């Protein structure tokens, strides 16, 4: 579980983490434990999503407001630690995507759009506890944003859009229902979380919980050195992951694994390679090898098996039936004296010199 969360913090391209396990196994605690480890990143101040890097690479794509700010020497971004934005189960669709500002309506007597949680999740981590219990409309909105990187909202006369690129972390108890396949496909790493089994581990959990409740500040200070060291490691790995490559053998191994398992989705090997790069970057190695692929493969390939095998078999049988029918009909047409094929675009018996 910790490995998967660290890989997502280092490389957002792993497309998030899904924690699957029984109640009380530490899923939410682990996800929230990422907060002091997350790196400082650049956040855009533009409502249209203009990024600071665009000023150097594609200045023509900046909006008018950002171009004016840059001309005046003003910044269009600020640096701050990445955050975890939690989406509660009782959130409404307007809370998630946004809607009309009540305050603007009452004080200024005019309609004004107010972005929702998906706007705050931009370049951050969106955490959803009990993700399998979300309302269908909210799941659809999250799927759209995850697929396009933008959230488009229409509420009567109000219409707006804003950037929303985030790392999705979800936790769920499978006893309470399955997760929709569409959103499952958008989450890269999947972890089956179980409780600690040994007596010393279970005792240590109870002791730490008691110490934290008695003195939260002192408890955090006791682990400040380890926390700072882990945060620095994540920040270094995040800077290095873009330059980390897979060896040709590792790439072939990743593709061979997905093929051997009969996994149809190409997202599987994409996520597997991105997770492998992150794994090597954490170890401060510039090239990932086959051993790195094997280390992260269970996280990236779990629950990837398609359930369409019955459908595909029926589709193949149908294609065979259609091909047989074509042959039978073609043969009977020839027997009945069907017209012979044209030659050079004309009927053979009408060719003139």
pLDDT in tens, 123-175: 899 999 999 998 888 988 998 888 888 888 877 677 778 888 899 999 999 88
**pTM > 0.75:** yes
The answer to the question of residue 23 being in a domain is yes
Contact 116, 96 (CB under 8 A): yes
The residue with greater pLDDT, 41 or 170, is 170
Other beta carbons within 10 Å of 128: 26
- Answer yes or no: do 175 and 142 share one domain: yes
Q: What distances in angstroms separate CA 216 from CA 84, 133, 186, 219, 229, one per listed residue?
A: 20, 31, 36, 5, 20
Q: What distances in angstroms separate CA 138 from CA 82, 114, 134, 172, one per listed residue?
A: 23, 17, 7, 16
Residue-level pLDDT at 97 = 87
Pairing relationship of beta strands 245-246 and 158-163 according to DSSP bridges: unpaired
Confidence of residue 335 (pLDDT cuts 50, 70, 90): low
The answer to the question of residue 300 being in a domain is yes
The answer to the question of residue 328 being in a domain is no
Q: Which two tokens stand for residue 309?
A: 């095998």
The lowest-confidence range among 17-21, 51-55, 147-151 is 51-55
Asked if the model's pLDDT at residue 353 lies above 50, the reply is: no
> What domain range is 291 assigned to?
244-307
Share of the chain above pLDDT 70, in %: 87
Average pLDDT over residues 299-318: 76
The answer to the question of residue 54 being in a domain is no
Q: Sort 260 into a burial class: Cβ within 10 Å, 0-12 / 13-18 / 19+.
A: exposed
347 is catalytic: no
**pLDDT, tens digit, 9 for 90 and up, residues 181-237:** 888 888 999 999 988 889 999 999 999 999 999 999 999 999 999 999 999 999 999
- Answer yes or no: do 96 and 129 share one domain: yes
Catalytic residue among 67, 267, 294, 302: 267
Helices 2-10 and 224-240, axial angle in degrees (round to 10): 50
Contact 279, 7 (CB under 8 A): yes
Asked if the model's pLDDT at residue 345 lies above 50, the reply is: no
Q: Which two tokens stand for residue 148?
A: 């396009």
- Answer yes or no: do 147 and 231 share one domain: yes
The DSSP letter of residue 116 is -
Residue-level pLDDT at 109 = 56
- Answer yes or no: do 250 and 233 share one domain: no
The residue with greater pLDDT, 305 or 284, is 284
Question: How many residues in total does the chain contain?
Answer: 353
Residue-level pLDDT at 163 = 84
The CATH number that applies at residue 187 is: 3.40.50.300
- Answer yes or no: do 23 and 127 share one domain: yes
Task: Single out the residue in 307, 325, 341 at which a domain terminates.
Answer: 307
Asked if the model's pLDDT at residue 57 lies above 90, the reply is: no
- Answer yes or no: do 249 and 189 share one domain: no
Question: Number of structural domains, the chain?
Answer: 2
Most confident of 9-23, 253-267, 322-336: 9-23
Most confident of 68-82, 119-133, 305-319, 321-335: 119-133
DSSP 120-143: HTTTSEEEEETGGGS-HHHHHHHH
Contact 83, 124 (CB under 8 A): yes
- Answer yes or no: do 90 and 206 share one domain: yes
Among residues 348, 350, 1, which one has the least CA distance to residue 171?
Answer: 1
d(CA 18, CA 44): 27
Other beta carbons within 10 Å of 92: 12
Task: Single out the residue in 270, 290, 307 at which a domain terminates.
Answer: 307
The answer to the question of residue 96 being in a domain is yes
The CATH number that applies at residue 294 is: 1.10.8
Confidence of residue 352 (pLDDT cuts 50, 70, 90): very low
Q: Which two tokens stand for residue 219?
A: 């408890």
DSSP 37-70: GPPEEEEE--TT---TTHHHH-GGGS-HHHHHHH
The answer to the question of residue 298 being in a domain is yes
The residue with greater pLDDT, 259 or 64, is 259
- Answer yes or no: do 158 and 10 share one domain: yes
**pLDDT, tens digit, 9 for 90 and up, residues 254-303:** 999 998 888 888 889 999 999 999 999 999 999 999 999 999 999 999 88
- Answer yes or no: do 138 and 14 share one domain: yes
- Answer yes or no: do 110 and 152 share one domain: yes
Other beta carbons within 10 Å of 22: 12
Given CA atoms 349, 351, 352, 353 in this order, what sign does their dihedral have? negative
The answer to the question of residue 12 being in a domain is yes
Residue-level pLDDT at 333 = 59
Instruction: Tell me the H-state helices in 150-264.
Output: 181-184, 199-214, 216-222, 224-240, 248-260
SS3 316: helix
- Answer yes or no: do 171 and 101 share one domain: yes
Contact 11, 279 (CB under 8 A): no
- Answer yes or no: do 34 and 87 share one domain: yes
d(CA 124, CA 38): 10
Please state, rounded to an integer, the average pLDDT across all residues of the chain: 84
Secondary-structure breakdown of the chain: helix, strand, coil percentages, each rounded to the nearest 5: 55, 15, 30
The answer to the question of residue 256 being in a domain is yes
């Amino acid at each position: 579980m910790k490995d998967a969360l660290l890989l997502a913090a280092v490389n957002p391209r792993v497309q998030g983490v899904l924690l699957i396990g029984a109640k009380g196994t530490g899923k939410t605690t682990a996800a929230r434990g990422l907060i002091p480890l997350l790196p400082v990143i650049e956040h855009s101040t533009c409502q249209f999503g203009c990024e600071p890097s665009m000023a150097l690479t594609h200045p023509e794509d900046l909006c008018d407001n950002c171009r004016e700010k840059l001309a005046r020497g003003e910044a269009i971004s600020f640096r701050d630690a990445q955050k975890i934005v939690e989406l509660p189960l009782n959130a409404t669709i307007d809370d998630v995507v946004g809607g009309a500002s009540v305050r603007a309506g009452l004080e200024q007597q005019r309609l004004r759009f107010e972005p929702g949680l998906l706007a705050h999740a931009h370049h951050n981590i969106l955490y959803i506890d009990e993700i399998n219990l979300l309302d269908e409309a909210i799941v659809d909105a999250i799927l759209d944003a995850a697929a396009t990187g933008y959230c488009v909202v229409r509420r009567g006369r109000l219409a707006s859009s804003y950037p929303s690129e985030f790392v999705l972390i979800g936790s769920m108890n499978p006893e309470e229902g399955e997760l929709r396949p569409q959103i499952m496909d958008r989450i890269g790493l999947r972890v089956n979380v179980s409780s600690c089994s040994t007596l010393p581990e279970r005792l240590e959990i109870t002791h730490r919980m008691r110490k934290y409740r008695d003195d939260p500040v002192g408890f955090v200070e006791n682990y400040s050195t380890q926390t700072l060291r882990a945060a620095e490691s994540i920040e270094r790995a995040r800077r290095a992951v873009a330059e980390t490559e897979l060896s040709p053998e590792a790439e072939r191994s990743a593709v061979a694994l997905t093929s051997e398992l009969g996994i149809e989705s190409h997202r599987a090997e994409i996520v597997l390679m991105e997770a492998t790069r992150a794994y090597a970057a954490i170890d401060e190695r510039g090239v990932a090898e086959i051993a790195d692929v094997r280390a992260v493969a269970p996280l990236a390939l779990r629950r990837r098996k398609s359930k369409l095998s019955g459908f595909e078999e029926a589709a193949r049988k149908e294609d065979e039936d259609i091909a047989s029918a074509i042959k039978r009909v073609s043969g009977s047409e020839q027997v009945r004296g069907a017209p012979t094929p044209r030659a050079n675009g004309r009927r053979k018996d009408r060719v003139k010199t």
